[in-house]
């Protein structure tokens, strides 16, 4: 299991309770490969050797010259790492006993089984394999105090926790979709119209159903964020590196002072404000909505890469406690999120495992059944959509 937990739970002056020790060891078994937990191994081995071979106790009074400050730092790191592990334990176990049993249940292969489906009856009977699920990420213009909002972006993700692949399909906001009870309209209108008439939650459900009807994919989860949620999330993890595939000029930013700013192709270190400005841009991009999809992918990869850095492990409690700050709405439980984290922690390489799929469409002026008038819509190529879904979004 390694030297660190043994030192941790056997320390004579350690005030950790027996339950905490047991839980820490359980969690350590899951997180022992995190680089932050491997620090100072050589130092600890040297201390063991010095005590065993020289017959001396490593106290502050008989340390070799220059070692006292090292031990003080080591003790401080002990406390930090101990509390980090304990916080992880609290997050995962949630205060319930039987840590090993809880971890067994949270294993994605055990947790993501017999999932409920949000969608039309035609897909409700479809069952994914254990450890596999579909989630719809929704970016909206939701503002505090408003009960209705338009969807600005939709990203369908097919997550296979068994082989660690995450296929992603971004669907343009102006895509022509069917809305039950109304007829055909733009995707961006579905949530707004339903929320105005049936309430906030039902509007999200109807937007999910429209995507499920369009793609034929059974959707299990949804998570909606807005401008401020995305900005706060990126800032909470210390900003991200975002690799832009092309030059981007901000033509309709959220903040007027950013209008006209240009970012060249390549990697940029960005805070939450600028990340959100970039993924909101459309008009200066090649392919407009399709260019925006590529920026969304770059942002998601940047966030994923930053989240798995050891430095952000200690931020998990704050992030977990701030989910409501980052997300407008979701049907994912804390256990769902922790299970995803456990499944990804040992083998998560965003740039290799997150696969971006794109389905082309054509712009057309068509009748909108909600507006009772013609407007500009995007019609996705049905054959290409069917082929993409069959290859990457089903069993």
Residue 86, Cβ neighbours under 10 Å: how many?
Answer: 16
- What single DSSP character describes residue 328? S
For strand 248-249 and strand 262-263, is the pairing parallel, antiparallel, or unpaired?
antiparallel
CA–CA dist 308, 342 (Å, integer): 11
Of residues 377 and 296, more confidently modeled: 377
CA–CA dist 131, 111 (Å, integer): 7
* Whether CATH 3.90.1150.10 fits 121-392: no
- Of 328, 330, 331, 329, the closest CA to residue 226 belongs to 328
In the chain, the N- to C-terminal Cα span, in Å, equals: 36
Task: Give me the helices (H) in 199-247, please.
Answer: 200-215, 227-236
CA–CA dist 102, 301 (Å, integer): 30
CA–CA dist 199, 217 (Å, integer): 25
SS3 95: coil
Average pLDDT over residues 192-216: 93
Which segments of the chain belong to CATH 3.40.630.190? 121-392
Instruction: Give the helix/strand (H/E) hosting 23.
Output: helix 18-31
Is residue 326 within 8 A of residue 232, CB to CB? The reply is yes
Instruction: Identify the top-confidence range among 81-85, 292-296, 304-308, 337-341.
Output: 292-296
Provide the CB-side half-sphere exposure for 14 (13 A, CA): 19
SS3 54: helix
Tell me the pLDDT band of 147, cut-offs 50, 70 and 90.
confident
Contacts with 33 (C-beta within 8 Å, 6 or more apart), sequence order: 346
CA–CA dist 304, 36 (Å, integer): 18
Residue-wise pLDDT for 298-340, tens only, equals 998 898 888 777 776 556 555 666 667 778 888 998 888 878 8
Residue-wise pLDDT for 34-80, tens only, equals 444 444 444 454 455 445 544 544 444 454 555 555 555 555 555 55
Average pLDDT over residues 259-268: 97
pLDDT at 290: 84
CA–CA dist 180, 98 (Å, integer): 46
């Amino acid at each position: 299991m390694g030297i660190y937990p043994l030192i941790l739970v056997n320390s004579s002056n350690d005030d950790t309770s027996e339950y905490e020790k047991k839980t820490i060891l359980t969690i350590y078994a899951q997180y022992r490969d995190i680089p932050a937990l491997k620090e100072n191994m050589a130092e600890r081995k040297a201390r063991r050797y010095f005590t065993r071979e020289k017959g001396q106790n490593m106290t502050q009074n008989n340390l070799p010259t220059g070692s006292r400050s090292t031990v003080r730092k080591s003790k401080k790191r002990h406390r930090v790492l101990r509390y980090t592990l304990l916080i992880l334990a609290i997050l995962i176990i949630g205060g319930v006993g039987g840590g090993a049993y809880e971890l067994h249940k949270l294993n994605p292969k055990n947790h993501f089984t017999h999932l409920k489906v949000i969608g039309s009856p035609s897909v409700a009977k479809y069952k994914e394999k254990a450890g596999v699920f579909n989630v719809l990420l929704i970016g909206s213009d939701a503002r505090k105090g408003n009960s209705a909002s338009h969807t600005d972006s939709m990203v369908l993700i097919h997550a296979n926790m068994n082989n660690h692949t995450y296929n992603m399909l971004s669907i343009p906001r102006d895509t022509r979709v069917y809305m039950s009870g109304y007829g055909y309209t733009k995707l961006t209108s579905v949530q707004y119209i339903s929320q105005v008439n049936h309430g906030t939650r039902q509007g999200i459900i109807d937007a999910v159903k429209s995507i499920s009807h369009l793609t034929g994919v059974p959707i299990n989860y949804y998570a909606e964020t807005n401008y401020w949620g995305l900005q706060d999330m990126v800032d909470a993890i210390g900003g991200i590196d975002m690799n832009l595939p092309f030059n981007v000029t901000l033509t309709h930013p959220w903040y007027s002072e950013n209008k006209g700013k240009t970012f060249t192709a390549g990697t940029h270190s960005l805070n939450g404000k600028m990340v959100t400005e970039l993924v909101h841009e459309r008009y200066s991009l090649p392919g407009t909505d399709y260019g925006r999809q590529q920026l969304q992918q770059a942002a998601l990869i940047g966030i994923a890469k930053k989240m798995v850095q050891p430095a952000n492990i200690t931020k998990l409690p704050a992030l977990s406690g701030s989910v409501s700050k980052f997300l407008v709405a979701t049907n994912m439980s804390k256990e769902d999120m922790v299970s995803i984290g456990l499944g990804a922690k040992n083998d998560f390489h965003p740039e290799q495992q997150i696969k971006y799929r794109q389905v082309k469409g054509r712009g057309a002026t068509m009748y909108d059944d909600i507006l009772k008038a013609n407007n500009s819509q995007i019609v996705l190529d049905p054959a290409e959509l069917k082929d993409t879904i069959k290859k990457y979004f089903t069993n």
